[in-house]
Each structure stands twice: as structure tokens, then as C-alpha cells.
Amino acid sequence: MAGHPQRIDWVDYAKGICIILVVAWHSTLGVEAAAGREGFMHALVHYATPFRMPDFFLVSGLFLARAIDRDWRTFIDRRVVHFAYFYVLWLTIQFAFKAPGFAAEAGWLEAARLYALAFIDPFGMLWFIYLLPVFAVTVKLVRNVSAWIVWPVAAALEIAHVQTDWTLPLEFAQRFVYFYTGYLAATHIFGFAGAAQARPALSLAALAAWALINGALVELGWAKLPFVSLALGLAGAGAVVAIAALLARFRLAAFLRHLGETSLQIYLAFFLPMVVTRIALLKTGLVTDPGTVALVVTVASLIGALVIYWIARDTRLLGFLFTRPAWARLERKPKYALQPAE
């Protein structure tokens, strides 16, 4: 362990990889939708589809065991109220930008209905923040149920490929197995990361094989098949863990570690620089290739989100954007202000 105290380097590297893939996904799809054609970035985000969110949720479940046996008041404060505060806050911020467009199409009453609906059905890209407390509470409720029952049920939900327009049950069915796996197998996952660091040559060979298999299955269109999607999700999550462990061991690409340390803040704030950069590039025509536009938007989104965070962090008036205030707490004497999305 190095750098930030109480943090594990490879975990932050893994989060850094994940947040880049998430931002690239939204940036690329937004650019392609606006431009009406695909660019070279489409291949990258398409390749990462089987493991992009599985790894994010698996890593998010790693440290739940530390909190699972706490009393319900403390648990709800740190695992539910914490994320609920940021969800409601950033939902309101995002809606302030999007509401005029909704109102222009269907009226302000419909815009208000959509805002109210977002408290039941997660809004846009904020669904990840919404799902984290749902997953945490679910694990706490079933912690005394045998994992031999819970994990197969969670896996069956993913394999079933539930089809619904309601985001909550859809994403729960697709993602819970990875969060629960992170919680359940945390000790083994940390051991796996250590083994990857101890045998870098073998790890690289295994990663090369995984990369070829993942790419082939994605290219063939088989990655979304039942059972295959689960296998690729778990294998891809393991691959990201191994890559992160190797990068941490050799201290390469340190910027990934910093992105991982601030992954929650980036996730909350990247939508604004993403939209502004996309509109500016497409309207000015300075860059015409959609792949290049998507790449620039991705980089600008990451940097822009960090700048917003740094400004808010150093400004008392804006601190509430990323630091949960005392009034939004259940604990009487909170020990810290902002938890990472673990």
C-alpha cells in the first residue's frame, strides 16, 4: 500500500480504469447519436461492454464486509443516506439542465412528472449511484442466508436477461451478482491480485488469452448470450483486477490511481463538461471525425469533472457538491465526510 493512507493502490487503479471506460461509453454514444455515425471509439467501448460495469460493481462490493455487521443506523447512514444525498443533489442539478428540453417537447407538467419518477426509477447515468445502496441493503438483509443459495439466485437473474423498461429491476438483475461476488469473495480477490503481482509474466500471458477471447466473442455477437455474458463479466472483472494489480506493482500510469481515488466525484460531475465539449466540437466543426470527437470529449469530461471537484473542494460555498453536510447524516459524530464508491 502506498500513497493515500488507508487505501489499496490496485483498487484505486481498478476504479480508475472503470471510470475511464464509463465516461468513454457515455461520451462515445452521445457523440455518435449527435453525429449520426460511428467512429473508432465505438470499437473500444463495444469491446469493454461485457466487463465495464461488472468490474465497477465487483470492486464496489469488496469492502462491504467491513460495514455489514454494524448497527442499522450506522449502516443506513454510510451506505444509504450517503449515496441518496448525492443522488438527489446531482439529479436536481442534471434536471435543471435538461428540464427546459423536456418542457419544450411535452410541457412543464411532464417535466415535473419525470423528475418525480426519478426517485422511483433511476435517472440517466445516475443509476449506478442509485443501485449501490440498494445492493448494500440487499446483502445485509440476506447475510445470514447461505451463499450457496444467494449466489446461484443472483447468477440466475443475470443469466435470465430480464427485459423491462424499468431501470431498477433491469440493472438489479444484471449487476447484483457482481456486487455480491465482490462482497462474498473479497478475500480471494485480494489474494488473486497478490498472485498476479507475484507472477507478472504468467499474468500477462493469461491477460493476452482473455483479451483475445473477449474480443472474439464480442465480435461474433455472442457476448450477450445467456451464461456467456456472466462468464465474460466475471472474467473481465478478474482481468481488470489483474491489470490494476500489475500497474500498481510497477507504479505505472499513476494518473489511473488518482482517477480511482476520485471516481465517485468524477461520476457525479462529468456530464456537464461532456455535454458542453460535445456541443462545442460538433457545432464549430473544428473536428469532424466522430472517433476523434469522442476521444476529446472523453478526456475533457474527465478533466472537467476533476476541475469542478477541485474548485468545489477548495470553496466553502460549493463544498456541499461533494461533501455530505452534517444535516444530511444520521450519525451524531461523523468520522468523515465523503466515502468512496466502494
Alpha helices in 142-270 (DSSP H): 147-159, 167-184, 186-198, 200-220, 228-250, 254-261, 263-269
Asked if 235 contacts 210 with a C-beta cutoff of 8 angstroms, the reply is yes
pTM, whole model, 2 decimals?
A: 0.92
Task: State residue 333's pLDDT score.
Answer: 56
User: What average pLDDT does this structure show over 216-223?
Assistant: 96
Q: What is the band of 124 on the pLDDT scale with cuts at 50, 70, 90?
A: confident
Q: Exposed, middle or buried, 72 (CB in 10 Å: 0-12/13-18/19+)?
A: exposed
Which of the residue ranges 19-23, 220-224, 335-339 would you say has the lowest mean pLDDT?
Answer: 335-339
Q: What is the band of 103 on the pLDDT scale with cuts at 50, 70, 90?
A: confident
